[in-house]
Chains A and B, each alone.
Chain A
Amino acid sequence: MSLIETEIAKLRARAYQVVHHVRRQLHLLEEGVRLREWKRLMEIEKLRAEALEEDMRLDRRCARILALHQPVANDLRLVLAVLRMHFYLDEIGERLATIGRRLAQAMPEIAPPAPENIPIVQLVSSVRRLLELCLEAFFESDMEKAKRIDAEDEVVDQAYDICMRHIIQALTAPLSEREAAAWLEIAIAVKTLEKVADYAIDIADASIYYAEGVYYWHRFARRSDTSS
C-alpha cells in the first residue's frame, strides 16, 4: 500500500468514527421519542461534546493529507467530500442536540393525550432512514443509493407536514401560556428535523462528487423540477 493509500484508508476510518457519533445521537433521539423518555433526550448534548474531539481529529487528518500528499483526482475528491460531509455532520450533530433539548423541555409541558398524537416518532425515524441511506451512499460509493434519496426525502416531507398540521391544530385550541410556549418549542424542533434531512441530502451530493467528480445538488435539482 502506498503512502497516500494508507493516509486515505486512515481518513475513511476517521470519517467513519465521526459518523458513528451522529448515528448514536440520532438513535438516542429516536429511542427517547419512541419511549417518551424525554429526559433521556438531554443526553444527546453529551454525545455531541464527545464528538467534538473526533471532529478535530478528522480536520487534522484532512489538513495533513492536503499539505503533505497534495492529493489529486479521486483522492482529492475524497478529501473534499469528507470535509463537506464533516461540515454537514457537524451541523446535524449540533441540531440534534438542540432538538433533544427542546423536546425534553417542551414535551412534558403538554397535556396528554396530545403528545401521542404528534407523529414525531415517524418524522425522526424517516430522517434517520434518510441519513443512513445518504451515509451508505457515501461510504459504499453507491451512486444508485445517492440518487434514490428523493423517495426517502418525500417520506420525511410527508411526516413533517403531518407534524406541522398537528402543531397548528394544537396552537389554535385554548392553551395556557406554558403549553403554547411548549408547542412553539416543538414546532421549532420539527422544523429543525427537516433541516437535518436537508443536510443528509447534502451528504448524498458530496458522495456523488466523490464518486463521479460532478457537482450535483438535489436541492437545486428539485427546485428546477418544480419551476419547470
Chain B
Amino acid sequence: MYKLEAHKVSVWYGSYKALDEVSLALERNQVLALIGPSGCGKSTFLRLLNRMNDFIEGFRMEGRLLIDGEDIYSPEVDPVYLRRRVGMVFQKPTPFPFSIYENVAYGLRLQNRLKESQIRERVEQALRQAALWDEVKDNLKKSALALSGGQQQRLCIARALAVRPSLLLMDEPTSALDPISTAKIEELIHELRSTYTIVIVTHNMQQAARISDMTAFFYMGRLVEYDRTKDFFTNPKHPETLRYITGRFG
C-alpha cells in the first residue's frame, strides 16, 4: 500500500481552479519534493494533506486523496484527528512563547493522556530526532524564543515529531534560515526518512535534488512531471520541466 495517493485531485477557490486532476502515489519512508513557480499549486497540494485548505472560503475539492489507504476527505474522517497524524512545519519557525520543553510537550498534553514521565521521555526522543537535544538538554526551561532561527525550526520539527505523525509536511522549511542551519535541517530530513514519510515544498531546486527521493513539478495547477529525483534532475521527460529546472522558464 502506498503511504500517499492522489487520484485526479482538483481544487477550486471560488471559481479559480488551483489544482487540475493531480494524480500521484508515494511509497512510505520517502521524501517527496514539490517544486514549481509561485502560484503553481504546490502549497495548495501540501495543505490538502492535512486539510488546512478547509478553512479557506470558497475551497472545493474533487478527486480522492488517500493516506495509508484512507480517503482523508471522506465524511467519516475528523480533520482534527487527521492533523494529529499529519505534522506540519512552516516556512518561518513558529515556536510558542513557552519554554523549549513545553513547546514539545504541548501537543502531547493536548493529544494523549500521558504521565509526566512519559511526556519527558517523548520530549527527549523528539528533540533527539530533531538533532536538537545536545544543544538544549541543559536549558530545557529556557524560552524557545531565545533560540536561533535554525534551532527554532528544529524545535518546530521536534514539536511535530513528538506526537508521532504518520506523515510530515514541510512548507519551505529552510527559506528563512542561513546555510548552516539549512544544512542541519537537510541532514535531519535525510535522517527522518528512515522513520517518516515527508512531503516538502521548496523553491530551492538543489535542495529538492539533495534531499528528496521523488520530485513533482507543478505548473499552473497541473502536475507536469512526477519522477524519481535522480531521473528528474538528470533527464526530465517534459519540456516544461526541462525549461523550469534549467532556468529557461518564462
**Which B residues are in CB contact (< 8 Å) with A77?**
234-235
* Contact in complex: B246, A71 (CB < 8 Å): yes
**Which A residues are in CB contact (< 8 Å) with B236?**
73
* Contact in complex: B248, A76 (CB < 8 Å): no
- In the complex, what distance in Å separates the CA atom of A70 from the CA atom of B234? 12
- In the complex, what distance in Å separates the CA atom of A138 from the CA atom of B236? 20
In the complex, which residues 198-214 of chain B have their Cβ closer than 8 Å to any Cβ of chain A?
A: 205-206, 209
Query: Does B61 sit at the interface, judged by CB under 8 A?
Result: no
* Contact in complex: B248, A73 (CB < 8 Å): no
Query: Does A59 sit at the interface, judged by CB under 8 A?
Result: no
**Which B residues are in CB contact (< 8 Å) with A74?**
242, 246
- In the complex, what distance in Å separates the CA atom of A2 from the CA atom of B247? 8
- In the complex, what distance in Å separates the CA atom of A4 from the CA atom of B86? 39
- In the complex, what distance in Å separates the CA atom of A74 from the CA atom of B234? 7
Known contacts being A70-B206, A72-B205, A73-B242, is A5 close to B233, with CB within 8 Å?
no
Distance in Å: Cβ of B230 to nearest Cβ of chain A: 11
* Contact in complex: B246, A4 (CB < 8 Å): yes
Report which of B205, B209, B248 forms a contact with A5, defined as CB distance below 8 A.
B248
* Contact in complex: B245, A72 (CB < 8 Å): yes
In the complex, which residues 204-249 of chain B have their Cβ closer than 8 Å to any Cβ of chain A?
A: 205-206, 209, 233-236, 241-242, 245-248
- In the complex, what distance in Å separates the CA atom of A75 from the CA atom of B205? 14
Closest residue of chain B to A212 (Cβ to Cβ) is: B235
**Which B residues are in CB contact (< 8 Å) with A70?**
206
Given A73-B242, A213-B234, 13 other A-B contacts at CB below 8 A? Answer: A2-B248, A4-B247, A4-B248, A71-B246, A72-B209, A72-B233, A73-B245, A74-B242, A74-B246, A75-B246, A77-B235, A213-B235, A214-B235
What are 22 sample pairs from A and B whose C-beta atoms fall under 8 A apart?
Answer: A2-B247, A2-B248, A3-B247, A4-B246, A4-B248, A71-B246, A72-B209, A72-B233, A72-B234, A72-B246, A73-B234, A73-B241, A73-B242, A73-B246, A74-B242, A74-B246, A76-B233, A77-B234, A77-B235, A212-B235, A213-B235, A214-B235
Q: Which residues of A contact B (CB under 8 A)?
A: 2-5, 70-77, 212-214
Q: Which residues of B contact A (CB under 8 A)?
A: 205-206, 209, 233-236, 241-242, 245-248
Closest 9 CB pairs of A and B: A213-B235, A72-B233, A72-B245, A73-B236, A75-B246, A73-B242, A73-B246, A70-B206, A4-B247
